Amino acid sequence: MSHQTPAPGALDAPGGPVGALGNPPERILMLPGPSNLHPRVRQALGAPLVGHKDPYFLELMERVTAQLRCLFQTVYSATFALPATGGSGMDAALINLLEPGDAVVVGVCGFFGERMVDIAQRVGARATVVQSPWGQPLDPEDIRRALERSEAKVVAVVHGETSTGVCQPLEEIAHAARAQGALLVVDAVASLGGVSLPCDALGVDVCFSGSQKCLSAPPGLAPITLSPAAMARILGRRQRVPSFYFDLTLHARYWSTEHIYHHTAPVLNVYALHQALCLIEEEGLEARFARHRLHARAATAGLEALGLHLLPEPAHRLASVLAVLVPEGVAEAPVRDVLATEFQLDISGGLGAYAGRLWRIGIMGHSAQRRNVALLLNGLEVALRRQGYHPRPGAALEAAEAVYAGAG
Ligand SMILES: *Cc1c(COP(=O)(O)O)cnc(C)c1O
């Protein structure tokens, strides 16, 4: 045995080489992001790395751009993926569209709307905040009045408010924006690929998302699309975009057929996103939205059979995130602990004002499956019983099964 031979078991131990932490656990992710990866997406992450100027990769970028246009339901060429998480899309959209002193209307009905106000203020824009209580969507009439009063040329809203499980209807807001000649910015991080969002038909000017939610790719990319009017506003700025890295005109040129170098693309993430988008193409957008609705309905029926209530009214519920009120007398975190340690299933707690008062359950992408819904409901029933809360045994699964049966 040579002195270079590692100690027996050192390299093939479950932990791998000495010092390595070992394999990450296999978990069922029913978080409001990230969601589980399909095996094909996982495999893509292990494909050979090429350089970011390799002809293979440049061709892949063009393919991904085309796939993203289908996903956003847009024909506009300025459609690509930023090399950072969903939040970078929000930063980039507002930093590029707004200059100091510009008026902007921001719709706030939860945590991510509040973040948009924060970013607009950091840019030095004058933000008019239109609010609605957590759990309710914005009133388009409030947006219309705010646009009229402020003469803002940009309005920003969240489509799927992850903190409250509310899906914001966009038709009337888009109409109000158009009437005032304002650009509409939409945060679709939690909804794109799970809930229909036809950007061109609605008249959305900038829409951004994240790779790890309903798309079920790893976190690290922010798909984004810009209308010609949005691009024109950026090109017509008085001052240059104050961030080099998030100057969207530079990203657009990098992703266009010019491929003018801007950054070293996270090549493996783009492979994975490509596979995730292929899976979406194969499933079909409408079938995918229907799948999200089905599992959301089944999970909701089960939750209600457990005696639980969702925060938003039925008409405003987001299929991809269920916001469930923690009943009186039940401790929020211990329920999640039971799911995590005994069922290897992760859900999330509440944000901001609803910390400790909500469970948030992701019905996203590859995680949106019947077996996951069944395990979730079973796990919740067990966890609730531990706290002296006694739903009728099996009632949740029965209610979910009735939804699946009705779906034929
Ligand atoms: C998750 C989320 C974000 C932030 O995305 P990250 O990938 O965590 O940066 C922004 N907006 C909404 C609506 C989200 O759900």
% of the chain beyond a pLDDT of 70: 95
Answer whether 187 contacts ligand 1 (Cβ < 6 A): yes
Q: Which CATH architecture has domain 285-407?
A: Alpha-Beta Complex (3.90)
pLDDT at 338 over 60: yes
What are the CA-CA distances from residue 214 to residues 27, 189, 358 (Å)?
17, 8, 21
Rounded percentage of the chain residues whose pLDDT exceeds 90:
93
For 368-397, what is each residue's pLDDT tens digit? 999 999 999 999 999 999 999 999 999 999
| pLDDT-derived band at 9, boundaries 50, 70, 90 | very low
pTM of the model: 0.95
- Do residues 109 and 134 touch, judged by C-beta distance below 8 A? yes
- Tens of pLDDT, residues 249-302: 999 999 999 999 999 999 999 999 999 999 999 999 999 999 999 999 999 999
Task: Identify the pLDDT of residue 18.
Answer: 78
* Residue from 29, 91, 112 to probe ligand 1 pocket by mutation (most atoms less than 8 Å from CB): 112
Mean pLDDT value of segment 356-360: 98
Average pLDDT over residues 120-146: 98
| Helical pair 228-235 and 248-255, crossing angle rounded to 10 deg | 120
Pocket test for ligand 1, best of 161, 162, 361 (most atoms within 8 A of CB): 162
Interval 310-329 mean pLDDT: 97
Q: Can you give the pLDDT at residue 19?
A: 84
Residues with Cβ within 8 Å of 24's Cβ and at least 6 positions away in sequence, in order, are none
Cα 36 vs. chain centroid, distance in angstroms? Answer: 13
Ligand 1 proximity of 85 Cβ (cutoff 6 Å) = yes
7 CB-near residues (< 8 Å, 6+ apart): 18
pLDDT mean over 222-229: 98
Lookup: tokens for 395 = 């009632």
The residue extents of the domains of the chain are 39-281, 285-407
- Mean pLDDT throughout 19-33? 94
Regarding the beta carbon of 189 and ligand 1, being less than 6 Å apart is answered yes
CATH number assigned to the domain with residue range 39-281, chosen from the 4 options 3.40.640.10, 3.30.1330.20, 3.40.50.150, 3.40.50.850: 3.40.640.10
